[in-house]
Chains A and B, each alone.
Chain A
């Protein structure tokens, strides 16, 4: 056997390595947790990763004030407590919070509208990082601009902390619908579309040719039940983020387990019946339709 290890040819933080990490999360459920105990419950239930944060979005919403990155000591404790990947949230445009999270050892950074934006005009230049990023999007323009900045995964924004799946569905339908329209456009129409959405033409052409986003596309924002998770898989999402829906439920263990199973069985209603039975109360939530615009998080970071 040749032992030509070519160690000097090793490359870290390439697009392939960053996007590859996101691809390994496909078909999985990523769960918001605030401490090591919750992280272990998530891991036992079969979560593919946990999102370490100070408070789940529903509590951030209730509390008001400025929402920031979690205490790095708490993030580090969660990193040490589980074998699955750990993600952390930074404020939009807050390069320093992102660098701190990367240094703590998180496996992916969520530049998230759930926290209070730090920069009104710019997102983080994600290409400068070794760690991969996930960003929220409401439409194809937001998605492709984030990918151009270096995002390795896109998720719907939905409306975090509401327990109402309505906006996640709306955003996913908007993105998929725009891609379907793009597929029917000529080369020059696609170029014009790229100018309109202020995204590179190259990314627009790539998306049109692939018939999907060039990175993994998850659902997030308001997913509260196994049926919600199955619905987002039905809408061709690659996987699911669940925020307040698990630890805001009456029986988090049962809910976490059921949502993992629902993602694998999303196209089998009879199995979904069994999965959905006797889970106790799901999070109470707030219907999106009742939410005044100033209380919505989805408009942050376009």
Chain B
């Protein structure tokens, strides 16, 4: 059976998430059709969802205006997987600590926007993440990234400089960095195809080393 994956596409880095989902699905022998979500009515047909990075003020505004916000909440309430990255993490949080963002309360964390500074402070670095396949650090790219301030019921998967930057809360995996910017699809595999119950049987085949170009 073919899976349907949705990438929320109102603004941000959409095509790269779509490609990463296709690679992750192929690594797990799953057939997947990816659709871009810019209007309501499509999310209910999706088995899995990605909420990409971009600008959180813009994305939160448009998912509410377009009537997609409630559909995303229902998707998560039904226990279906969702991966939220960077601005997506802010939009998915229970508390963005900024009234310019109307968040969706999908994960029990508060976040600090631009916690690592402006663009000149943006960086890439290898990051150890709990639960990703094999032991190699993940090539994490932080772009004006948020950090997680308070972790409620969520489980921390990774920290950078003492601050949580990747969490899981039920069907949702959220990262402060951008796993779609390199060829390394281990986060997408973790979020969509390696649920908590199946972590032990995570595949062991060689993964790409995530070299940036």
Q: A130 → chain B, closest Cβ, in Å?
A: 5
B114: chain A residues within 8 A (beta carbon): 83
Residues of chain A at the chain B interface (Cβ within 8 Å): 1-7, 9-17, 20-21, 23-28, 43-44, 46-49, 79, 83-85, 102, 105, 107-108, 130-132, 260-261, 263-265, 268
Complex A-B, nearest 10 residue pairs according to Cβ-Cβ distance, in ascending order: A107-B119, A16-B212, A27-B11, A2-B128, A48-B55, A4-B128, A10-B125, A46-B61, A46-B58, A130-B120
Among the interface residues A17, A43, A261, A263, which one has the most CB atoms of the partner chain B within 10 A?
A: A17
Given A27-B10, A49-B55, A43 contacting B100 (CB threshold 8 A): yes
Given A3-B159, A24-B87, A84-B57, A264 contacting B66 (CB threshold 8 A): yes
Contact with A along B159-193 (1 / 0, CB 8 A): 11110000000000000001001100000000000
A13: chain B residues within 8 A (beta carbon): 120
User: What is the bound-complex CA distance between A206 and B124, given in angstroms?
Assistant: 23
Q: Would you list 23 pairs from A and B whose C-beta atoms are within 8 A, ordered by A residue? A: A5-B127, A5-B128, A5-B161, A6-B126, A6-B128, A6-B137, A7-B125, A14-B212, A16-B212, A16-B213, A17-B143, A20-B178, A24-B54, A24-B143, A27-B11, A48-B54, A48-B58, A49-B55, A83-B100, A83-B114, A85-B119, A105-B118, A107-B120
Q: A30 → chain B, closest Cβ, in Å?
A: 10
Q: Is the CB of A264 within 8 A of B11?
A: yes
Q: A175 → chain B, closest Cβ, in Å?
A: 18
User: What is the bound-complex CA distance between A265 and B39, given in angstroms?
Assistant: 8
Q: Is the CB of B128 within 8 A of A43?
A: no
A5: chain B residues within 8 A (beta carbon): 127-128, 159-162
Q: A262 → chain B, closest Cβ, in Å?
A: 12
Given A20-B143, A21-B122, A21-B144, A26 contacting B38 (CB threshold 8 A): no
User: What is the bound-complex CA distance between A134 and B162, given in angstroms?
Assistant: 34
User: What is the bound-complex CA distance between A263 and B126, given in angstroms?
Assistant: 35
User: What is the bound-complex CA distance between A27 and B130, given in angstroms?
Assistant: 32
Q: B186 → chain A, closest Cβ, in Å?
A: 15
Q: Is the CB of A6 within 8 A of B159?
A: no
Q: Is the CB of B38 within 8 A of A265?
A: yes
A268: chain B residues within 8 A (beta carbon): 39
> B residues 25-56 with Cβ under 8 Å of A?
38-39, 53-55
Q: Is the CB of A15 within 8 A of B11?
A: no
Which one, A6, A107, A263, contacts B118 given CB within 8 A?
A107
Nearest-neighbor residue (CB-CB) of B181 within chain A:
A20
Beyond A1-B158, A21-B122, 7 additional pairs, beta carbon < 8 A: A2-B128, A4-B137, A6-B128, A16-B181, A20-B122, A263-B11, A268-B39
Which one, B9, B57, B125, B181, contacts A23 given CB within 8 A?
B181
Which one, B58, B100, B124, B143, contacts A11 given CB within 8 A?
B124
A26: chain B residues within 8 A (beta carbon): 11-14, 54
User: What is the bound-complex CA distance between A5 and B177, given in angstroms?
Assistant: 14
Among the interface residues B14, B121, B143, which one has the most CB atoms of the partner chain A within 10 A?
A: B143
Q: B58 → chain A, closest Cβ, in Å?
A: 5
A260: chain B residues within 8 A (beta carbon): 58, 61-62
Verify if B65 is at the interface (C-beta below 8 Å from A): yes
Q: B128 → chain A, closest Cβ, in Å?
A: 4
Q: B10 → chain A, closest Cβ, in Å?
A: 5
User: What is the bound-complex CA distance between A269 and B202, given in angstroms?
Assistant: 46
